[in-house]
Amino acid sequence: MSGRAAGLRWGTRTFLTLALVVCAGVVTAALVALAVGPPLFHQHLLELGGSVGAAQMDHVEQAFIDAGSASLGVGLAVALLLATALAWLETRRLSRPLNALTTASAQLEAGDLAARVPRDTTPEFDAVAVAFNDMAERLHSTEESRRRLLGDVAHELRTPLATLSAELEAVIDDVLPWDAASQDVLIHQVERLRLIAQDLDDVSRAEEGRFTLDRREVATEELIAPVVAAAAGRFEAKGVQLRSIIDDGPVWADPQRVGQILSNLLDNALRHTPAGGNVTVTAHRDRTAVIVTVTDTGDGLSADQLQHVFERFYRADAARARDAGGSGIGLTIARSLALAHDGSLTASSTGPGNGSTFTLVLPAPQTRAS
């Protein structure tokens, strides 16, 4: 049954119910008037005593019954008509927003995520419309994210798969020899596929809160120095200077997961900082948290890019990031891990060409959740 048909059936049932209530009230009023009125009038006549004869009393009582019945009948008929009309109008007023809600629900169920319910002047129905529209908007946003994710994943997988396919065909057809260079190409692309799969699993678990953190009190130097040391070779190979300034102190964190956050931030900085540039990692502590920043002198970010930089597969420069082998979700994973630590990860930049700064805030030991 369509939404409108269901709404009409509800309206018909509601109108008939109200009409039945009105009719019951009219019949009840008539029966009570006929049962109470004549005996009460007769009692008053008896109290007059001998001033009224028997024949006159019968005539007066009959006149009272006739006049009362006629006036009561007309009054009740008019009341019935007015009440029925009001019930019909009220039913129509209530049916409009309900029909709209039912129709929009049916459209949403059929896959039309653009379906919305118009606002109503009745506060209660307006609140329902607002709640429904908010739900529909969230569903639409989720579906858009799902479609974009599927498209992005397909795009990410297409490049390494195409390279693998072309390389294998060339080797099979003896166009290229099977040598160390060919093996390196295949190994590199397989590793890229592995990293994409790992990143997809990580971002899914992080956003669903399925990460298990092994948090403990650890020195900031012990947390950051190994990550910087591990990345130093890549920075040196590109000609980008990497340095760290660490104000040592305790932090409450999972060393492995924080290392993953910092590795993603350093990889991002390296991709967007040209040769001759600088990347600086700093760490200091305030009263409640340890604040770690990764600042680069690279491409920088516009205001619009800052709003989307932590979204899955978002790239300020898609071609460059893809050529550099990034999966496009490293920053998404990093922020999710920061939030899992009851911390935060934010980005700032004064504009394109002016570099960018990513700020990681982690709780200090005395401020951790009990």
Mean pLDDT value of segment 161-189: 85
Confidence of residue 132 (pLDDT cuts 50, 70, 90): confident
Structure token digits, residue 67: 């006049």
**Strands 356-363 and 289-296, bridge-based pairing:** antiparallel
Write the DSSP string, 88-144: HHHHHHHHHHHHHHHHHHHHHHTT-TT--PPP-SSHHHHHHHHHHHHHHHHHHHHHH
To the question of pTM greater than 0.75 for the whole model, the response is no
Predicted confidence at residue 193, as pLDDT, reads: 83
C-alpha distances in Å from residue 70, one per residue of 76, 195, 366: 10, 92, 88
Predicted confidence at residue 85, as pLDDT, reads: 75
Predicted confidence at residue 119, as pLDDT, reads: 77
Confidence of residue 325 (pLDDT cuts 50, 70, 90): very low
pLDDT score of 115 more than 70:
yes
Mean pLDDT value of segment 237-259: 89
Beta bridge partners of 246: 283
pLDDT score of 23 more than 80:
no
Confidence of residue 235 (pLDDT cuts 50, 70, 90): very high
Predicted confidence at residue 41, as pLDDT, reads: 66
Mean pLDDT value of segment 208-237: 86
Of the ranges 108-117, 173-182, 267-276, 322-331, the best mean pLDDT one: 267-276
Residue type, 157: L
**Under 8 Å between Cβ of 7 and 102:** yes
Confidence of residue 40 (pLDDT cuts 50, 70, 90): low
Model confidence over 66-96: pLDDT tens digits? 666 666 666 667 777 777 777 777 777 777 7
Mean pLDDT value of segment 123-136: 81
| Helix ranges (DSSP H) in the chain | 3-47, 54-109, 123-172, 180-207, 220-238, 255-271, 303-308, 318-323, 330-340
Predicted confidence at residue 206, as pLDDT, reads: 64
Predicted confidence at residue 113, as pLDDT, reads: 79
Contacts of 18 (CB under 8 A, 6+ apart): 87, 90, 91
Taking the C-alpha atoms of residue 24 and residue 303, their distance in angstroms, rounded to an integer, is 68
Model confidence over 42-56: pLDDT tens digits? 666 666 665 556 666
Confidence of residue 324 (pLDDT cuts 50, 70, 90): very low
**Which of the pair, 84 or 218, is modelled with greater confidence?**
218
Kindly list the structural domains of the chain, giving each domain's residue range(s) and its CATH number in brackets, ordered by start.
13-40+65-112 (no CATH), 143-208 (1.10.287.130), 217-363 (3.30.565.10)
